[in-house]
A and B are shown apart, each in its own frame.
Chain A
Amino acid sequence: MALILDHVDYVYGGDTELAVHALKDVNLVIPDGQFIGLIGHTGSGKSTLVQHLNGLIKPTGGAIYFNGEDIQDADYDKKKLRSKVGLVFQYPEHQLFEIDVFSDVCFGPKNLGLPRKEVELRAYAALKQVGLEDAFFYQSPFDLSGGQKRRVAIAGVLAMKPDVLILDEPTAGLDPKGRDEILDQIANLHKEMGITVILVSHSMEDVARYVERIIVMNRGSVLYDNVPGEVFKHYRELEQVGLAAPQVTYIMQALRKKGLPVNMEVTTIPEARDEILRVIRA
C-alpha cells in the first residue's frame, strides 16, 4: 500500500521556452515501514519530488496514490494527507514562530482540529521522541541552540503522527556530534514506531549508515533504486552526475586493486572493518 508514484511528471515555467522539466516519468513504490535515502545533487529534482508526496506540488502528469487513493482527486482531504505524510523542510528551525517550544509543537495537531487535550498529549510525546528535555518546553524556541531548534521543528511535524516522515537534509549546518544525534534519533523513530522514513541527503556516509534502500535522482529522473551496496557499485556513474560513493567504497576499491579480495558491497565503517579483518586473517 502506502505511497505509489505512477508516471509522475512535473513541468514549471508554463509553455514558454523557459519551461523546466523538473520531474520526468517518476515511478516509485514506497511500502510501509521502509527507511529510504533519497540522494541527488542540487537541482536533481529530489526536493520537488518530496513536495509531491504530501500534495504541496501538483504533478503536471501522472498520478500519486496514498493508501490506494489518488491524492489529486477533487474530494481528497489534503490536510489529512499532510498529517499522514509529514515533511520536514531544510533548516526547519526557520519556521518556528511561537512564544514557547511547547506551543510551537502544538501548532500542527491544533491545525488538525483535535481537542486540546489530545493536542497537548501529542506535543509532549513528540518532544520526548526527539529527546528534548522538559526544562526547555517553556523557553522561547529562539533561545535554543541550533541542534535543539532543529529537534523542536522535527517534533512539530511528528506531533501530527505521520505514517511517513520525510526529512530534507535534517543535519545541514550541524556539527558532527549533532549530526549523529539527529540521525540516531530518526533511526530510533523508524525502529520503535515503524514509520516510513525518507531521508533526503547529500551525505553518502550518512545514507550508507542508516537506510535500507537508496533512490538516486538525476535531472528529474530516477537513476538508481536499490539497496546501498548495489547502488554504490556504480560509483563511477555516480561521480558523473555530481555525486560520489562513501569513502569506504573507495577504500575497498583501492584494496581490491592491490590484490586484497575484499567484498565490494560493504558500505559502512563497521562492515568494512569486519571485512578487512576477515580477509587479512584468512
Chain B
Amino acid sequence: MLRDITLGQYYQAESVIHKLDPRVKLIATITFIISLFIVDNIAGYLIAAIFLVCVIRLSRVPFRFMIRGMRTIVFLLLITVVFNLFLTPGEPLVSFWKLTITKEGLRSASFMAVRLVFLIIGSSVMTLTTTPNNLTDGMEKLMNPLKFFKVPVHEVAMMMAIALRFIPVLLEETDKIMKAQIARGADFESGNLIKKAKSLVPLLVPLFISAFRRANDLAMAMEARCYRGGEHRTKMKPLQYKRRDAEAYFVLVCYLAVCIGANVYL
C-alpha cells in the first residue's frame, strides 16, 4: 500500500508544460518566486495571477491537485496573516480589546497571503508536471558550473535519485517492522516522551540495519554494472533544449519585464 505513494507528486498528463525541459521549469519557478517578491501592488499580483492561471491551464493538471499542497502550509499561512494583520503599525481601521487592525496591516497581510499561496501553487505546478528523476537531471545540469568549484554535482544528483528510489521501499519496510514488533507486544503509542523514544529502538535498529544492508547490496550491484562515477558516462535521456524551451524562456522574460514595468509605472 505504501508503495503506491509517489514521491514528489507527479501527475501524468500530456501537455506542453510536461514536455518542457526540467531546466526551464526550474528556472521559471525561481523567476516566478522572485517576481512575487518584486511586485507590491495589485496590478502586479494580477499579472502574476494571470500568468499562473495560464500555466495551470496549459499543464492540464486538475486544479484540486494544485491546492493539495496548501494543506501543509495552512498553519504557516494563518500565523503570517495574523502577525501582519495585528502587528503592522499605521492608520487604525478596526480596534477591539487590545488589538488593532491597520490599513497597512490589512494590505501587507493580504499581500503576504497571496504571495505564499502563489508560491506554493507555483512550485506545485513544477513538481506535478516533472518526474522526480527529470528534476534531478535538471538540477544536475544546472549545477554543472559548480563542478569548477569542486562541488560533486554528479554524486549529489545520484544520491538524490537513489534516495527517491528507496524512500518508498524503506517506508514499506518501516511499516512491516512496526507490525512485527506490535505483534510481539510492542507499544509505539502510549507513555511519555522518553518512553515513546525508547519504544522506537526496536523499530529503528532493524531499520538501520536493513538500510545499510540495502546500501551495501546496491553499491555492489552498481559496481557490477560498471558504475565508476560521472566520468566516461553517457546519458540515455540527455537533456536537450528544443524550440518550445526557447519559446518558454522568451515568455518568461516577457513576464518578468511586465512585472517590473507594472511595479515601476503603476
Contact = CB atoms under 8 A, between A and B. Distances in A.
**Majority SS of interface residues in chain B?**
helix
Contacts of A107: 184-186, 202
Interface stretch (B55-63, B104-112, B205-213, B250-258): B205-213
A86 B183 CA distance: 7
B180 interface: yes
Contacts of A248: none
Given A95-B202, A97-B205, A107-B202, A82 B177 contact: no
A54 B183 contact: yes
B202 A97 contact: yes
Interface residues of A, number: 25
A92 to B, nearest CB: 7
Contacts of A18: 4
Interface string A78-102: 0100110011010010111100000
Contacts of A251: none
Interface string B178-208: 0111111111000000000000011001100
Interface in A1-42: 12-13, 18
B184 A56 contact: no
Contacts of A95: 177, 180-181, 184, 202, 206
Contacts of B185: 79, 82-83, 107-108, 111-112, 160
Interface residues of B, number: 20
A129 interface: no
A97 B203 CA distance: 8
Contacts of A12: 1
A157 interface: yes
B176 interface: yes
Nearest to B208: A97
Contact of A89 (B1, B179, B205, B209): B179
Given A89-B183, A108-B185, 8 more contacts: A56-B179, A82-B185, A87-B183, A95-B177, A107-B185, A107-B202, A108-B184, A157-B183
The 3 closest A-B pairs by CB, nearest first: A111-B185, A97-B205, A108-B184
